[in-house]
Amino acid sequence: MHRELRKFLAGVALAAAAFAAPQPLAKLHADKGVTCADCHGKGKVRVDDNETAPNLACVRCHGDLKAMAKGAADPLGPHASHLGATSCTICHRGHEASRSYCLSCHDFEMKMPGGSDAAWKPQAMSTRRDKRVDRADVLVVGSGAAGMVAAITAHDAGARVIVLEKQPLTGGNSMLAEGGMNAAGTRAQARKGIKDSVELMKEDTLKGGKYLAEPSLVEILARNSSASVDYMEKLGADLSDVGRLGGASVSRAHRPTGGLPVGAHLVDVLRRNAAERKLDVRVNSRVVKLLEGKDGAIQGVEVSGLHRGTYRILAKSVILAAGGFSANPERVARYQPSLKGMASSNQPGATGDGLDLGEAKGGRLRDMEQIQIHPSVAKGSRILITEAVRGNGAILVNRQGVRFFNEIGTRDAVSQAILHQEGKSAFLVFDESVRRSLKQIDGYFHLKLVKEGATPEALAQALGIPGAALKATLDTYNAAVDARQDPQFKRPDMPRALREAKFYAIEVNPGVHYTMGGLAVDEATRVLAKDGKAIPGFFAAGEVTGGVHGANRLGGNSISQTITFGRIAGATAAAFAKP
């Protein structure tokens, strides 16, 4: 029967459009004579929250995602996306119409067998209650970079670890990070002759955050940044390329060779390391409550699993790494009414659940009104255009075809400058040399976000802006590059002139990107109560915490924060869990 299923699926790949009406995969399989037992085996069907068995059945017949992508006409299709090695059942569902997870962020047309064009939404959790109790030394809530690094670190320190993720895939917002990982005094910087220091990175971070950040936390971020790059490289990451992002005095954003997106790469590395260690990572598992002992210590969680239902896990230490709330428009508007209705660049799981969990157990929240908008989200979409495009030489022009600001200023300043332009948007203009310098730009072409022209005038015509003005703007900018001085806007770093055809542009506007506020923590990542004392057994790392960035986060500091404080949380929680 598997041979028949393969033939059926091969036909599906060629004629997906034939399945006009949304219907479950079980119905499509049954119509071709494929039985339940062919996928689920004989006897009682058991499906865990990771949906391991049905996913293995998919792979047996289809091949894995790499095999699916290899046979596809589009090399950048959904089976070869930035999401990496994910599960088939994220999109393809046996007993309801399939829905593309990609459409939770993107709005392009996507056909799939039996698929619905409705927006992706999480499946309803089981209402049953499982009285069995699981146990761990360290329990991690959230599977972005902070959570996975914490879990790996705790495991390597000898702890039994369980990781819980409410979404159907691991990675969180970390897999969307594009610009780089800030670090000072690294080997990669030394190879390129870049002079940097812990003190300079600390001052850039404090200044960029308007001196609202906690100096002791910023000190930890900067002082441990180089060691965190070394740590990720030992796990198998490529962080050999170094670029400059907004607010940095020198180039310190580390990323893969050729300027590929840093987040998807690091998430892939962390997934591989978790698998090699056989870590217990559970997706589709939403934490609904923290469990508290008589002495106020956090001693575990109550979980709502997709198939298992509600159950408890007892743990000696709990690490909260559940991310921020940029994808929760109601919460964003509550803390910053001026941002009501603004699109977010975040993945759909960034809703702030972790903040509720922590606050319910007495955790103190800080800096909650500090919400960052990123200056370059593609107009009419939720797609972030990495700051590295500007860092590698692109400029911003308005509808009059002229520059209006230092393109590599801090995110808050550049965003406000764009919002003061006609249409509250701008055009990110670059040439072939910039495109060649940064591989992730190719993805923007794939998403049809880029306009182009053989000359500046032709590009201007495609954009509907004055050609003579754009040509004059480029001439003036190129002269500034040649002179190594920008008299107009004092841009400190201009890595290349924009003279090489073709010429390109992406219309961008600001979007909600990052929440600097969160749970207050100390230098050991212990969550602090409202009285300033640490809550026993309770730790936090990543965007769910506040105090590291102040009023504004510098590009490249988020990934740096997740790795450094994830390492600290994992080590501290593992030590606390030891008898």
Which residue from 465, 378, 389 is spatially nearest to 473, judged by alpha carbons?
A: 465
d(CA 352, CA 58): 33
User: Inter-axis angle of helices 557-577 and 225-234, to 10 degrees?
Assistant: 80
What span, in angstroms and rounded, lies between the C-alpha atoms of 47 and 45? 7
Among residues 479, 483, 522, 515, the alpha carbon closest in space to that of 498 is found at: 479
Dihedral sign of CA atoms 210, 212, 214, 217 in order = negative
Q: Where are the alpha helices (DSSP H) in 438-466?
A: 441-446, 456-463
**Cα 104 off chain centre by:** 14
**Which residues on neighbouring strands pair with residue 254, listed in sequence order?**
181, 242
Rounded (to 5) percent helix, strand, coil in the chain: 35, 20, 40
Q: What is the DSSP letter of 176?
A: G
Tell me if residue 411 is catalytic: yes
Please provide the DSSP assignment of 109-150 as one string: ----TTEE-SPP-PPPPP--EEEEEEEEEEEEE--SHHHHHH
User: Can you tell me which residue has the tokens 């770093």?
Assistant: 493
Please report which residue ranges of 375-431 form alpha helices under DSSP H: 387-391, 411-419
Give me the torsion for CA of 88, 89, 90, 91, rounded to 10°: 80
Torsion 162-166-172-175 (CA) sign: positive
Residue in 308, 403, 411, 491 annotated catalytic = 411
8 A C-beta contact, residue 125 and residue 135: no
Nearest residue to 388 via CA among 83, 105, 563, 182? 182
For 322-339, give the secondary structure using H, E and C: CCCCCCCHHHHHHHCHHH
The partner residues of 508 in beta bridges, in order of sequence, read 378, 426
Q: Say if residue 145 is exposed, middle or buried (CB neighbours under 10 Å; 0-12, 13-18, 19+).
A: buried
CA distance 93 to 219: 47
Token pair listed for 126: 């089981």
Task: Report the run of H or E that residue 479 belongs to, with start and end.
Answer: helix 467-483
Q: Which sign, positive or negative, has the C-alpha torsion 314, 358, 533, 207?
A: positive
Do 390 and 375 meet the contact criterion of CB atoms below 8 Å apart? no
Are the C-beta atoms of residues 569 and 538 closer than 8 Å to each other?
no
List residues bridging with 291 in a β-sheet. 300
Neighbours of 119 (CB within 10 A): 11
Q: What residues are paired with 426 via a beta bridge?
A: 508
Three-state DSSP state, 314:
strand
Catalytic site residues? 411
